[in-house]
Amino acid sequence: MEDAPIEDGENHKDIEVAPALISVHPAQESVAVTVGSELRVFDLHGGSAVSLVDDSHGPFHKDSIRAIRYGANGKLFVSAGDDKLVKIWSTESWHCICTVRRY
């Protein structure tokens, strides 16, 4: 079956997809990457993925992550998403040390 060509003026439902985000530790110790609600951190010195720990026992974010950032000294990392959650992570233990719900 051949794909039908898309006609000019044809209405298509716009689907908003969160962009992939990348953030590099200030001392280049790790790199964080997100796509949608997935958050992954890679240890550049150890050459392996970091195990993130969040005691809320659910997914880190339930909806698309829209912002990630390391603190200036690299000790904290923050993720924020469409689920209205801001999570603050310790980069020494990779535990979520605080979750703030935005209203």
d(CA 95, CA 66): 20
Question: What values do phi and psi take at 5, rounded to 5?
Answer: -65, 150
Is residue 62 within 8 Å of 75, Cβ to Cβ? no
CB 9, CB 40: distance < 8 Å? no
Domain contains 2: no
Do 102 and 69 touch, CB atoms closer than 8 A? no
Look at residue 102 in the predicted model and tell me its pLDDT.
76
Domain membership flag for residue 51: yes
In a domain, 76, yes or no: yes
Instruction: Write out the E strands in 5-64.
Output: 21-24, 30-35, 38-43, 48-49
Task: With respect to residue 11, please indicate whether it lies within any of the assigned structural domains.
Answer: no
Q: What are the pLDDT tens digits along the chain (103 aa)?
A: 455 554 555 554 566 666 799 999 999 999 999 999 999 999 999 999 999 999 877 778 989 999 999 999 999 999 999 999 999 999 999 999 999 987 7
CATH number at residue 42: 2.40.10
Amino acid 1: pLDDT: 47
What is the predicted pLDDT for the residue at 14?
64
Number of domains in the chain: 1
Q: Examine residue 10 and state whether it is found in any structural domain, yes or no.
A: no
User: Residue 34: which domain range?
Assistant: 21-101
pTM listed for this prediction: 0.77
